[in-house]
Structures are given as structure tokens and as C-alpha cells.
Structure 1
């Protein structure tokens, strides 16, 4: 039987069995278009001529989301798009399911009726079963040459997906689709007691598996990522979850069906929730449910692991943090997520394991097939699926080049931080996890210029107790040895929301709202707890505390009063104290640019938060993709502001550091050092490239050229071009 005839017969049989007036099959082409391949009920002439893009119309929505749509009035759905050539305007009810194979969307199967009706769950299930069969037919390649558009269903075409870089590095390997879902077919039990016993046995095995997973030595035993994993262990012992499972069994379901029911109920309640913390909880519960299903159904994890390629790149819509640890670290080369953010639990764990991660890669699961070659660029945020040989060769060379450059930087690591003309500079690293600390010595950083204390709070289930905070801070200081550590006090609010922090107001513009030092001063109990933990952890050491988002010098005085009260309290009760307390402020709010003398007199040091200062100074929301790259920080207005800060710091002999993305780029670091900002804090990976640039530079010569250009405001010269030209002329490495 010819492929077209076979497909036509399938849609006719579906229509007859489901008493549907329309049944249509759409197949995803190599160009990302869903082409109508077969239909009964719609205009036959539309076959191979009617098409929708991914995300377009109801069919495109199903394909991009990989979820069914069941509608009584399809034309009222916001995604509905009328295709006049099909003649579908008379049909109201609509049921569409994705045609999936190994987690990848290959097309969409649809039934329609004139009557206004919602299709039943059994009908949806039946259509999904047939769609699985169609998925095998499409993957077999029988339908490749049916399209009159001349575009094959080429499952090997190269695709580049633009996502967001979430963890640094480059990974070359082969796709493994993360497929946690297990289909339950045995729904009703004959012996509830026996099923509850099966559930108890499976839960016991699940908990032992999780304990074993958390005991692996490939993940550091200290750090905030441990909080993520320990909270996961707590979910496995949650009595409320177990009670709901037992109630479902008591109502007649099998242990497997009870797990699926409770999982579905919870997802239905949380699907519409926008809170990122609750979405993370849903990922964790999904993962636990799928693990428990595998235990109940006797799936052999060892066999699954043995099939993994040695260069695995995991591709998933989303993952729970602990799911990542199901895969042996030695096999993993990268992780690609359709969802995910820098603070997602799985990303925190992946970063701790040194795995490159790209998130927000929309549609990548639908385009990928197990075994496909893939490149994960955790630097640019790109994913190259089935890359051309020349692209693959270029990235392989890039990996080798990075390895060679890292070797060069290691040689440079122990050399003095002195420019070509003998001017000293200091490079420190930013950190927020205990697992970051080994990079302190590896990178050659002279200290930690910014330790983001809020990460401990963001991954915890409840507000961390003083003892937990003290333990972390002491561990950080011990790991840093003699090198200085600057702790930024709690910087929450804005886009850093603590889910357990109740009664926070809704804000139209949270970046300019109740956050950082403003929140700390309004809730002094939180601030006092953190300060007390820092003071106790810093016994017999210098303690450096930095206040974020300071707008008014009076805020520094208020904070100092609270800190002094805590010092007095601890001293009174005989606790050890730091040998010296240095209090600094982050210069992020432009208002302070007009009160620099008072600022420099009020603190022991100042740190420029270049990300926020530039954002506020130029009224540019760096989270807005439309304008995030519209303005260049190495521009006359911003450089003038930075030079003013550097001049005032020198006048008052106040130590000045800049931390932020600007510090970690060799070209902008050259400009900063030329203006007099000689203490820079950045990611550990940036220290080598920045040091290589600075040691090769005559800073006095660059300073003369750059300052002259800044002061010549009659000439709209590109400041970045001036720095680049100077670097090129003097053979200074900056790429």
C-alpha cells in the first residue's frame, strides 16, 4: 500500500470509530511548518497545500506545546486561525493531540464535529494512542516525499536555537531526551491492602535511592545546591503526599494509578501559578512521582544508564534538580532546557557539577531526536542541533583553543598583577556558592570582591536560621584562607523573590522598589540575624560587609547603628568578634553620584555595581530583550560618571572596586583601569583573560588617550572603538 493511501485509510478509520465528521493529520516539515497530509471531512484539495507554522493556530499551538487541546467552540479560542481553503468554518468542537516520538513532536492529529461538545478522556486517550502509531510511520521515513512543496520531512536538518546562557562552557555530544513520563495502563485494584503494601515497599526503595544519590562525591558536600537536594529528600518523606496516595488506593486505584492521579491533581492546581518557586516545586513533585512509578513498575535503571552515550547532552522541557543526578556525571557534556532560569534548582546543581547549560531554548525538544549530534554553547546561549561538519569542526577547535588559553592563564596566574608601565591592579572573583571557592586559587583571584549572600536564602524552603547562616559564612572564610571576602548583605526584592517571605507588596516596577538595603532597614530583624551570623563567623578575622542599593548616606548610618548594636550584644555575652569591621556601600543608584564626598567619608570602601548603575543611569531595562543591547556601557556619559567616582575615591583615599559584567570583559576592563578603577571583581573564568590584557597595557598611555576623548564632547567618538584601536595598535589581547 502506498504511503498516502495508508495515511488516508488511517484518518478515515479514526473518524468512523470516534463518530467524527473530520479527522486530519498534520506533519511537521523540515522548515518548521505543519503541512496537512491527510484529511476526511475537510476540502481534499487542501491536502499538501494547507500549512501552519509552529505556534500558529490551534494546530501550531499543540505542536509547540506538545499538549492536547479539547475545545467545544474552537473558533473562540485566541489561537484559532481560519484557513479558508480547508472549509472548516462549519465545525465547532475540536480535539487535537501531538504526534510524538521519543519526546519529539512530529505532527498533530485532529478530530472535529459541528456540534458543540467536549470530547471525553477516553477519546483523548484513544487519539493519543493512534498518534503514537503515526509517529512511528513518520519516523520511518515513508512520508518524506509526499509534500508538493518540495520540502522533505528531513529529520537530519541542521537547526540553531537561540536560548539563554545559564552555565558557562561548551559541550559537544549527542542528544538524550529526558523522558520521565511513564504510561500507566493498569488502573483499578482488586486488593487495596496489597496495593498499599506495594506502595510502602516502593517508597522505601525510593528513599534509599535518593539517599544514595545525595551521597555521591561528584557533587560538593557543602554549598547552597545541597539545600536544594536536601529539600528534595524531605519531599520524599512528606506525609501529606503519602496520605493522598493511600486515599486514592482506598478508593479503588492501583498504586501506579494513585501516583498518576495525585500527580495530575497537583499539576492541575499549580499549572496556572506564575510564582517561580511553586513552579520549581512542581518539577520536584513530578520527578518524585515518576521515580516512584519506575519503582512500582520495576524499571531497571542500570539498563537505562548503560545505554547512555559517553558524550550525553540532556535535552528536556524542564527537570527537577535531583533528576540530573540520575545521570552519571562522567557521561554528561551539557544540558539544554526549554524552560529554566539562572536560579532554577537544576541549573544551580548543574553549575555546581561544571556542566554547560542553555535555557529558554524554545521548541528544542520537538526538533531533537535521541542520538542527534548537538553543540551546547554555554557562553553565547546557542544550541546547534545536527550541526554542519564545518560548524562542528569550528567548535571543536574552539574547545581546544579554550583549553590552550586556560593553560596560558594558569602560567600567568602566579605573576604579579602589574601593568606594562608598572601600575598595580587587583582582580577578585564574584561568588555565591561554597562550591565556587575552589576557583579562588585556580583562577589566581586575590580575594572575593562580592559574595552574594542571598543565594542561600533563594534556594532554602524557609528563612535560614542564624546557625545555618553562620555555618555557611564560616565555611566561606575558612575556604578563602588569608584572602579577603566581601559579603554583600541580603539583596532580595526586585527579581529576587523569597517565596516564604509573606505580605510582600505587588510592585509595578520592582527593580526600583522595596529591595536590598530598603527592605533590610524596614525589616531590621532579618538584617540583625544576618549581621549577627557574619560577626560570629568572622571571629579573629577582618569582616567586610557591603550594603546594596544605597540611595542616601543616611541609610549607611542607620545600618551602622544596627551593626554596632549587634557588636555590643555579642561582646556583652562573651562571643568572639572580628579583629576589624569594614563597612562599605554599593554604588548602584545614580543619586549617590551627586553626593560622592559624603559617601566616601561615610564608608570604609565603595564598590560600583556596574550592572544596575548603568541600567538606572540610561533608563535601560537590561531584562528587556528589545533594548538590553541598545546602549553600550563604554560610552562618554557612563565613563564620565565612573571617572568622577574614581577621582573622589582617590581624593578621600577610599578603596574602590567595580563588580559586575563590565569588569569581566577585557576591553571594558582596560577602560576602567585607564580611568583609575584598578580593583575589579568578576567571574572566576574572566580573571585570566582580563589579567592577560592588563599586564600587556601601558595604562598611563591608554588613560591619556581615553580621557582626552571623554573630555572632547564636541566629537561624538565611539569610546569603545578608541579602546579597541589602542589595544590593536599595541598588540593587547582582548578577545
Structure 2
């Protein structure tokens, strides 16, 4: 193998000196390529930078025609340079001109050079340009030369990322780092957010690239790897990590990667070539990500995220940064970008600074998405590539209505969304004016508009939205954001806080609804189920673990001392479940009475109609409970055999269909006959057109997200209920049973001037 004149350490030392000098960007680049050519005994060294229009432009050269700088161009994928940029892989050729991808650029004068070595300029796996050396003689460059050029390319990547080279771009032409990008994801919570990127796992900026003492850096790396491995072992041994399941599998993968000798060897080689331990981690990870991004195997691509997370953890170990520093300096308009995150992690961010959340993964039923909805921020999921394409501080727009994310948006896009936000603000102002007006239709029919909640952060919205009360308080959210089961005292404190915040307005607490898609990592005892939505969950689980239910009943009874308490049971399938739950409540009431506790003034027990079997027990159900609440999301899912978290089925079945509306009408009619109050909570209640259908069916109490109350109330105030009921009855009673209910409702609204 041929020795490099001076070697990579000498080259890095010279580059460090050049970076420290006060130079114009073009002068610095010219001297860098000259230094590389000299060090590697190359007759040519050239730098091509990727522009936003997918063109690679020659930015500096030593050996080619200097007049071709900023004029010579290649498209992404064109020629040897374009091939390197497109594939993010080095190209090492002894006879470049005979390579099928070779493209002749007459302005450069490079046709006389045979040997060619080109490496991508990478940062966080993104290709920002290509660095090339060439010689006239036919020769194959050695591995140490490839490594030296890759290391040098990393230095140039930082120059591009920090904006030093943007001043060299011609007017109207942007570099790829500043290129506007639109990512299409899935809409998980509506709303529009304009702000600046905050990476949940922020890319740590390595400022010290070149080392002074190889042995010191190797020892530092070894110590940090040791700490990293210990922290992973600690997480695996802690009681709050399940012994089986996805959480543990991810940590086991982390442990395997942390002990991977190939990874460690590459880190050590980078240090021996002159980089600090931190820069070595960044370089090796960027190289690995660039290669893995082009793999088609979904399992291997998934492992790329594990490697990324591990590298970020190692960088934090090396730089002595704790997690508390991550969210320390948020902008006032922060939009969080994350591959995935836990519900509790989102709550660590101050709500007043959050404008939105973007996830590369997740589902509409993910814990973090549920919390995001509770916080009232727009959420977009399945936004693949968002994290690697973004930098902290980038301008970003998130559209939770259609699931798009606009990174570094152009001025016209920004202004269009600013107008959309202004329009929404005006509508919100109109809704605020309606807040204190009674929820009564145009023809005098009163309808209770209640709100759904589940966390303390929801409570201020009770007054802000003008809701008549809390129609559904999801008690399980407290369990989902905790690391272990909340103690009885913590539950009691939250429930008392909710009742007091309601200020006399009614609150309906749903007992803990875990299982299915709401998995608690610290809860052991559940076997893996083929179909968790139809499995051991909600009332089934808590009746089998009565200690859970009794603790919650006791906390609710104590919190509601001297006031009314309303509790409802989720996913009831048969009346025996209600009888068992009532028996547990009576035991807790008797126990508290014996010890002299003040009890609630009245206790009402209800059941949720979510399982279709209850539709055939309605008269008996009404005699067994004090009230009924329809869970429209699950009831529709089970009636149509549709997994509501499955994107392939989204929009396939319409809940405003005749069969489903007939089922909803059967419930409210049974309640009216028995004198039992019936409410409905679910997505149907929160959209004006479907809320209109519910009112037409006879529902006089519906519960929704706080943000939906204004639009639904605006619709209600203009609604002639009697006329709607007559029109809807015609469709539901028709023999065909396939009427276009949605079309009828929108036509009715247009005919009567009802805002939807």
C-alpha cells in the first residue's frame, strides 16, 4: 500500500489551522483543496456542492481549469460525481474514463486524468456534496487514503451546514441544506402550527473535530462506551421494563450494538486518523446511515434508527450532557420532531411554547398522540425522513388537517399558511363569542356540549371552551404517562383536582381502560395476544385484577367526598360485568363508611356501549345502570370489523352510514323509553356534520375534544332540529338502507345556512 505524504494526521492538522484563520469562504475552500492535493500527492482535488435543484456545482478545484468553478455542473446521478452523490458511497477507480458513468465536462480539462477517488460529503446521513482527487497514472487508492478523504469531507460538511458556503451561491440558487422539503405523513390531530424545529433527540454539534492526543481520545471513548453499556444494562434490569415485548427487544438490540466490535473498531480508526472521539462517532454514524438508507430490507432500515439512537446516547456520554439540557432552551414556537417518543417525554416540554409535534413513526392510537391531542397541538405521524432532513432552528410548518410537514418553506407557502392561521384565529374568535351563549338550536332544542379530558393540562380548557362539563375523563392517561402504577394517593389527588376545577359542572370518570392498544410497559401478566383489540382489556382486565379496580374506586370515592360522583365502565359485554363492578363499589363504600370518611352525596354508575352485543340487551342494560355513554369509535370498529388504526382501511367505511346510525338511534330511543340519560363520546361528536346527525337521531348530550365545541356550537345555533329529524328519519327508514346520509346532511346545511 502506498504511503500518503504527510498522512491524514498532518492533513487534519493543516485543515484545523485553515479553519482557524480569518478567510473568505472561497479562499478557505481553495486552500483546503490545495492542501488535500498536496498531502495525498494528487494532481487534482475538486469539491462539488449539492444545490437545492439537485445539481452538483463545482465550488473549488486544484488542478482543473479554475475558470470552471461555479460553472461546471452535474445532475444528481449524472457522471461519476453524480453517481457518488446519489448512492452516498465512495468510488475508487484506476481507469475512470472507461467507467460507464463517466461524463466528459470539456470546461474542466479532466480528460487527461485516469485514476479517480470520490467520497460523498455527508452530514447525518445526508449527502451535501462530493470531494474528489485524481491522478494521471492508473492506480488504485489505498484504504487509508479513502479514510483520509472521508474524514476531510466531514470537515467540509460542517462548513456547508453552518452556512459558510451559502454566500458563494449565485443569486436565486440555494444549497441543498436550505432546500424546502415537503413531507407527506398522516394527520393525527388537526390544526396548523408555524414555528421552528426542535429535534427531540437533538443532533449534538461537535465543535472539536481534531484531536491533540490519540491515546487520551481512545481512553475517553472506552470510558464512555463502558458507561453507555452500563446504562443499557441498568435499563434492562429495572423493574419498569417488561420482561417480554417490544420495549425489551429494542433495548436488547441496543446492548448488542453497543458491544459490536466492528462499530468500535471503526470509531478507534477514525480517532487514530486524527479525529476527536466525538467527531469519530459523528463520522462513523453518518457513513453508516448513508449506506443503510439505500437498503430495501425493512428490518435493516429499522435497525438504522437503533444505531442512530445509540450514537446520540454515546455522544451525550462523551460530551457530558444530561437529558435535562435537551429541552432547556426552547424557542417560543417550538415544533418537536422525533422518530418516536413516549407520552411522558412530550409532557416534559412546556405547553406554552409548543406549536406542534411531528413523528416519523407512531399510530393515531399511540400514547404520545393521545397526549398531543389532550394538549391541543397539531400532530403529524408517519413523516418518514423528517428528522434526518431537519436541523434545529429550521423554519417549519405542520398541517395537522392533511398530514403534511413543510421544512424550510418558501415565502409563498409560508404566507398561505399564515393566512390559514389568521382565518382559523378569526373563526376561534367567533367561537369564543359563542362560549357563554346557551347551547340551544334555532328552534329551541337544548343540547349539552361536553368535553373529553384525561390529564391535568386539559382542565383550563373547560372554562375556555364553554363546555357544559366533562363527559369523558380518561383515567388511564395518568397510568400511561407514569413509569409505574400510580399510587392510590396520586389517583385521589388528580380526581379531586378535576372535580374542583369543574366548579360544580358534571364530570364522568371512565374507569381505567388499559390493554388492547394501550399497553403499559410496567404491567406484567398479559400474554401476547393475536388480536388485542378483542382481547384482555378494559373492564375484562380490571375485573380479573380487582385490586386495580378497588384502588381506583376508593380514590374516586374519597376525591368526591360531599359531591356527586359519576363513574362509567368501558367495554361492557354482558350485564354480569356491571353487577360485579357494583359489588366492588359497595364494598369500598362500606369500608370507607366504617372508617368515618365522608362519602359522595350521590353515586351514579354508567356503562359504555362499545361492544355490539349490548345492542341486544338494551332494556336490561337501562335497568342495570344510571346512565349510558356510547363509545362511537370502538362501536363502529367492532360493528364493521375495521381496525381504526389501520391506514389501509381509513375512509373505507363511513360512520354516517344507515346501518351504524340505526344502531346509534336504537340506543338513544331505549334510553328515552326508560328515562335513562344517554350521551355519546367519540370522534363523531366532534365534527359539525356528524354532530348534526347525532342531534337528528335524538342525542341531547355529546362529548368531544375542547377545540371541537366552538364549531359544533356554531352549527347547533343555526340548526332547525325538528326539520332535520324528519329528513333523517326518511333516509333511515327507507327500504334500500343505502341512502347517502352525508350528502343529505351537507345539502340540508347548505339549504338552511348552517355553518359546517
* TM-score for both structures, normalised by structure 1: 0.69
Distance change >3 Å, CA 35–CA 393, structure 1 → 2:
closer
* Mapped pair 1:456 → 2:482: no
The 2-side partners of 1:284 and 1:695 are apart by: 55
- Partner-residue secondary structure (3-state), 2:647: coil
Q: Which residue of 2 aligns with 1:130?
A: 153
- Aligned counterpart for 2:406 among listed residues 381, 384, 391: 384
1:315–1:336 CA contact under 8 A, matched in 2: yes
Aligned length: 604
The 1-side partners of 2:519 and 2:357 are apart by: 25
The 2-side partners of 1:376 and 1:604 are apart by: 43
* Mapped pair 1:543 → 2:565: yes
- Partner-residue secondary structure (3-state), 2:415: helix
Q: Which residue of 2 aligns with 1:240?
A: none
Q: 1:539-688 alignment to 2 at 5 Å?
A: 539-688=561-710
Q: How far does residue 170 in structure 1 lie from its aligned partner after superposition?
A: 2.4
* Mapped pair 1:290 → 2:316: yes
Q: 1:5-84 alignment to 2 at 5 Å?
A: 30=52, 51=77
The 2-side partners of 1:458 and 1:436 are apart by: 16
2:76–2:85 CA contact under 8 A, matched in 1: no
Q: Over residues 341-379 of structure 1, what are the superposed CA-to-partner deviations in whole Å (9 max), with x where a residue is unaligned?
A: 678888788778765443432212343456654322234
Q: Which residue of 2 aligns with 1:99?
A: 122
Q: How far does residue 313 in structure 1 lie from its aligned partner after superposition?
A: 4.5
Distance change >3 Å, CA 293–CA 649, structure 1 → 2:
same
The 2-side partners of 1:407 and 1:479 are apart by: 24
1:104–1:365 CA contact under 8 A, matched in 2: no
The 2-side partners of 1:671 and 1:729 are apart by: 16
Q: How far does residue 421 in structure 1 lie from its aligned partner after superposition?
A: 1.2
2:367–2:518 CA contact under 8 A, matched in 1: no
Q: Which residue of 1 aligns with 2:430?
A: 408
- Partner-residue secondary structure (3-state), 1:577: coil
Q: 1:681-720 alignment to 2 at 5 Å?
A: 681-714=703-736, 716-720=738-742
- Aligned counterpart for 1:469 among listed residues 491, 503, 515: 491
The 2-side partners of 1:328 and 1:591 are apart by: 44
The 1-side partners of 2:548 and 2:714 are apart by: 42
Q: Which residue of 1 aligns with 2:448?
A: 426
Q: Over residues 613-634 of structure 1, what are the superposed CA-to-partner deviations in whole Å (9 max), with x where a residue is unaligned?
A: 1111111111111112111111
Q: Which residue of 2 aligns with 1:159?
A: 181
Distance change >3 Å, CA 322–CA 136, structure 1 → 2:
farther
The 2-side partners of 1:516 and 1:383 are apart by: 35
Q: How far does residue 158 in structure 1 lie from its aligned partner after superposition?
A: 4.0
Q: How far does residue 414 in structure 1 lie from its aligned partner after superposition?
A: 1.4
Consecutive unaligned residues of structure 2, counting only runs of 5 or more, are 1-25, 61-72, 91-98, 103-117, 134-142, 228-270, 289-297
- Partner-residue secondary structure (3-state), 2:649: coil
1:287–1:319 CA contact under 8 A, matched in 2: no
Distance change >3 Å, CA 616–CA 321, structure 1 → 2:
closer
Q: How far does residue 434 in structure 1 lie from its aligned partner after superposition?
A: 0.9
Consecutive unaligned residues of structure 1, counting only runs of 5 or more, are 39-46, 63-68, 71-83, 88-94, 112-118, 146-150, 201-252
Q: Over residues 186-245 of structure 1, what are the superposed CA-to-partner deviations in whole Å (9 max), with x where a residue is unaligned?
A: 77559x99x99xxx9xxxxxxxxxxxxxxxxxxxxxxxxxxxxxxxxxxxxxxxxxxxxx
The 2-side partners of 1:382 and 1:653 are apart by: 47
- Partner-residue secondary structure (3-state), 2:493: helix
Q: 1:192-203 alignment to 2 at 5 Å?
A: none
Q: How far does residue 159 in structure 1 lie from its aligned partner after superposition?
A: 3.0
Distance change >3 Å, CA 343–CA 97, structure 1 → 2:
farther
Q: Which residue of 2 aligns with 1:396?
A: 418
* Mapped pair 1:733 → 2:755: yes
2:609–2:628 CA contact under 8 A, matched in 1: yes
**Greater shift in the superposed pair: 311-320 or 586-595:** 311-320
Distance change >3 Å, CA 663–CA 332, structure 1 → 2:
closer
1:491–1:515 CA contact under 8 A, matched in 2: yes
- Partner-residue secondary structure (3-state), 1:626: helix
The 2-side partners of 1:515 and 1:294 are apart by: 43
The 1-side partners of 2:699 and 2:443 are apart by: 16
Q: How far does residue 29 in structure 1 lie from its aligned partner after superposition?
A: 6.7
Q: How far does residue 447 in structure 1 lie from its aligned partner after superposition?
A: 0.7
2:119–2:149 CA contact under 8 A, matched in 1: no
The 2-side partners of 1:371 and 1:364 are apart by: 14
1:105–1:366 CA contact under 8 A, matched in 2: no
Q: Over residues 159-200 of structure 1, what are the superposed CA-to-partner deviations in whole Å (9 max), with x where a residue is unaligned?
A: 32223445654222445667342547577559x99x99xxx9
